[in-house]
Amino acid sequence: MDPTRIFVVEDQPQLLKNLLKVLSTFEELQVIGSSQEGEAAVEDIVRLRPQLVLLDLELPGINGIQVTQRVKRRAPEVEILILTSFDDEQKVYEAIQAGASGYLVKRVGPEKIRSGIQEVMEGGTVLEPLIARRFWNYFQSVKAQPASPEKKENNPWSLSPTEFDVLRYVAKGLSNAEVGQVMTLERRTVRTHLSHIYRKMGVNSHVEAVVLALREGVVDL
């Protein structure tokens, strides 16, 4: 398989250097460009069309959330994985709403970054478990109603029992691989179930599926 083409946006030179060095050790990844500020990053990303962008939130000029919005508007196929020192639920909410496919804090190790990239490229959404729970709790407190016993029995999208289980585990912040371990399914089988869930629910991502399920009150945390 061809390596996954990566673009890195980080404003601190030493951190950028370290990140590029780490990524170069993984044969399945190919860094095709980098930038230290937002506006230039958008133009380079649109021109180079990487498959995935590792993006810091705090940048000179426009910030990472604005970069995400602009990239998604002009190159919607590009996946964006936020890598930042911030881990509060408001930042997570804004980044995901802007179109990011995941969120990792900078203290995670190289293997976590590697697995995060793999998860996103396989159609998953990456949220560290602690952040994931805070994010969904935050979203639920803002926009969703608690799931009632009656509503939990509803199945407005005709999901199969297995698909409902996958959706509930995803809502708890589990990755595709973790869902597979819990449900004794292969990762690609989980991915297939998710594609069916997205199609039936009329959504395009983990986040949209969980948000819709929370709004309908058919899952809880």
* Tens-place pLDDT, residues 107-144: 888 999 999 999 888 877 787 766 666 666 666 665 54
Of 38, 43, 72, 31, residue with least CA distance to 55: 38
Query: Given a cut of 90, is residue 38 above it in pLDDT?
Result: yes
Sign of the Cα pseudo-torsion (102, 107, 111, 113, in order)? positive
Confidence of residue 150 (pLDDT cuts 50, 70, 90): low
Q: What is the dihedral of CA 144, 210, 103, 110, to 10 degrees?
A: 140
Query: In the predicted model, what is the mean pLDDT of residues 49-65?
Result: 93
Judge contact between 135 and 96, C-beta under 8 A: yes
Judge contact between 42 and 66, C-beta under 8 A: no
Confidence of residue 207 (pLDDT cuts 50, 70, 90): confident
H or E segment and range at residue 73: helix 64-74
Tally of CB atoms within 10 A around 93: 18
Ordered domains of the chain (ranges, CATH):
4-134 (3.40.50.2300), 146-216 (1.10.10.10)
Strand bridging mode 79-84 / 102-105: parallel
Of 135, 74, 76, residue with least CA distance to 104: 135
SS3 174: coil
Query: In the predicted model, what is the mean pLDDT of residues 153-181?
Result: 86
Of 170, 132, 156, residue with least CA distance to 218: 156
Q: What are the Cα distances from residue 185, in Å, to 15, 62, 177, 182, 192?
A: 37, 42, 9, 8, 11
DSSP 102: E
pTM, 2 dp: 0.71
